[in-house]
Amino acid sequence: MIEIYQHQKSYIHLLNTRVKTLFTLVFILCVSLSPTGTWPAYLLFLTVILAGIILSRLSFKLLLIRSLISLPFVLAAFPILFTAPEPHWQLSINEKIKILISQPGFERFISIAIKSWMSLLAAILLSSSTHFEELLSALRKLGLPKPIVSILSLMWRYLSLMIDEGRSLARARDSRSAGKSNVRTIGWRAGVTGKMVGNLLLRSLERSERVYAAMAARGYTGDPLYRTSKSFTKGDYWILTCGVMLCLLILAFAILSQ
């Protein structure tokens, strides 16, 4: 099964999972609610997440590479550069081609990029310092309905199965086109890829039916199984309260300094 968790002996890894989960949700919410262009507040939020990375003793390079998954979401906001209102900057590529870039749109685009990246980095830090089973248990203890927890659990496990099936299809393709892949056209590659995707879907559906039949034969009733989560201590309450208050204070500073 896919495992994002990175083992380290750190304070963040030993922290109660529900504390980490609640703080991450509050952090993401506060970052998302921060007004556009409040750069000092963004810097304070970034300081908080960097402090968490240092305390977790995880590789910043690894987390940075994983956070690059936010690029597609940032590119979705790219048209704001050209559709936002005046004033505009004129970017001259040559004498005939000139592009108008909105100054408010540029500020909004950079703000969206920073907030998306910090939010995703916080989520990656949580998943990298917490076992997925512990995270599911924390979500259930926090009141998330059982069906949603079951869907998340099965989705995570079936994703691993789909990756295994995809690797098998890739090996089969390579063994049948050895020495010929360099002379094939882009159209041929696209056709093969499309057939592989369709085949992957069919094989995943068939395998999921076999897996569910095996689970039902072993007594699966639809209720998710998860690890026993740690009970809240007085120290956990204090840590969570201080973390939430810090995020709210930064948000209030961002709103008042707008």
Q: Please list the pLDDT of the chain residue by residue as tens digits (258 residues).
A: 556 778 888 888 888 888 999 999 999 999 999 998 889 999 999 999 999 999 988 888 888 888 888 787 788 877 777 776 677 666 666 666 667 777 778 888 888 889 999 999 999 999 888 888 888 888 888 787 877 887 787 777 777 777 777 777 777 777 776 555 555 567 766 777 777 778 777 877 777 788 778 878 887 776 666 556 667 788 888 999 999 999 999 999 999 887
Residues 143 and 30 sit within 8 Å (Cβ to Cβ): no
Peptide bond into 87 cis (omega under 30): yes
Q: What is the pLDDT of residue 43?
A: 94
Cβ atoms of 107 and 87 within 8 Å: the answer is no
Would you state the pLDDT for residue 199? 78
**Alpha-carbon distances, residue 207 vs 46, 165, 212 (angstroms):** 43, 9, 9
pLDDT in the model for residue 182: 53
Q: How many CA atoms lie within 13 A of 39 on its CB side?
A: 2
CA distance 3 to 9: 17
Q: pTM above 0.75?
A: yes
* Domain boundary assignment for the chain: 11-131+228-256, 146-180+192-217
Cα–Cα–Cα angle for 152, 155, 159, nearest 5°?
A: 145
